[in-house]
Amino acid sequence: MGIRQLRPTSAGTRLRSVPDFVEITKLEPERSLLEPLHQKGGRNNQGHVTVRYRGGGHKRRYRVIDFRRDKLNIPARVTAIEYDPNRTARLALLTYADGEKRYILHAKDLRVGDAVVAGPGSDIRTGNALPLAEVPLGTSVHCVELKRGRGAQLCRSAGASAQVVAKEGVYVTIKLRSGEVRMVRGECLATVGEVGNADHELVRVGKAGRTRWRGRRPRVRGVAKNPVDHPLGGGEGKSSGGRPACSPWGKPEGKKTRHHKKASTKLIIRGRRRGKATQ
């Protein structure tokens, strides 16, 4: 895995870099694990735009990924490593002993031909999934469940991982890359190792068109609009706005809108911002 710098034969390639894709071993996806992915353009089921600046982009198909790892104690072998246009991580195609094929997130140093297994009692080896209570302290894990059987919810992007730092009773304490320290029940599954393709954060888009390929449309500043379109618009010459940043409907931007419930934060020991304790 690495980054390839393009030769500057045009203005669009001068600052552009792309992954080298050296870890990819199969170009075509597994047809049995594909599902249609309809473009919504930021609209809900009533046709109203609920997420702005979305639309266009290349056509994609969804890869069905086994985030639950519920095929317990059945060995599987990595038969291919593939690209996924829907996420930053790569995919590993597993072929189980009974012939079934499933996708999982490709872990760092997981290669074609390696054997993996999920379930209690599994070896502490990259790609294996087992309960957090059985993972030794100091081990890096990814694809961590927050509730048993719900599937992996934490550490799913490229290069992500969490470290097991403590065990107390039925809870295991893990430390995330963001600095957040939280407790997770010991029966929740986690996969050993960290997610591959860690060099993804070094990729430079290089041109606006590449962002459009991903389905992201341009974002216009409020001060550049007319007064009828935005509270910050208008003015003689270039105006700074004269008020805090807000949406076209006057709602302040950057203000927290989440209603913190005790049930959702009681297991967070230290928050991700400024080491803020929540207990």
Is 258's pLDDT higher than 80? no
Model pLDDT for residues 178-197, shown as the tens digit of each residue: 999 999 999 999 999 999 99
Residue type at 49? V
Model pTM? 0.88
CB atoms within 10 A of CB 87: 17
- Give the rounded percent of residues in the chain with a pLDDT score beyond 70: 95
pLDDT band at 92 (very low <50, low <70, confident <90, very high): very high
| Cα–Cα dist 110/91, whole Å | 11
The reply to whether 212 falls in a domain is: no
Question: Based on the domain organization, do 194 and 80 belong to the same domain?
Answer: yes
pLDDT reported for residue 277: 56
Q: In the block, which residue shows the tokens 């934060």? A: 265
Mean pLDDT of the chain: 92
Q: Which CATH number belongs to the domain containing residue 277 in this structure?
A: 4.10.950.10
Instruction: CATH number of the domain at 153, please.
Output: 2.40.50.140
At a CB cut-off of 8 Å and minimum separation 6, what does 148 contact? 185, 187, 188, 189
Residue 136 confidence class, pLDDT cut points 50, 70, 90: very high
Is it the case that residue 263 has pLDDT exceeding 70? no
Q: How many domains in the chain?
A: 2
Domain extent for 127: 3-201
Listed in sequence order, the residues at least 6 apart from 129 whose beta carbon sits closer than 8 Å to its beta carbon are 69, 116, 117, 118, 119, 122, 143, 189, 190, 191, 192
Q: 256 with 124, same domain?
A: no
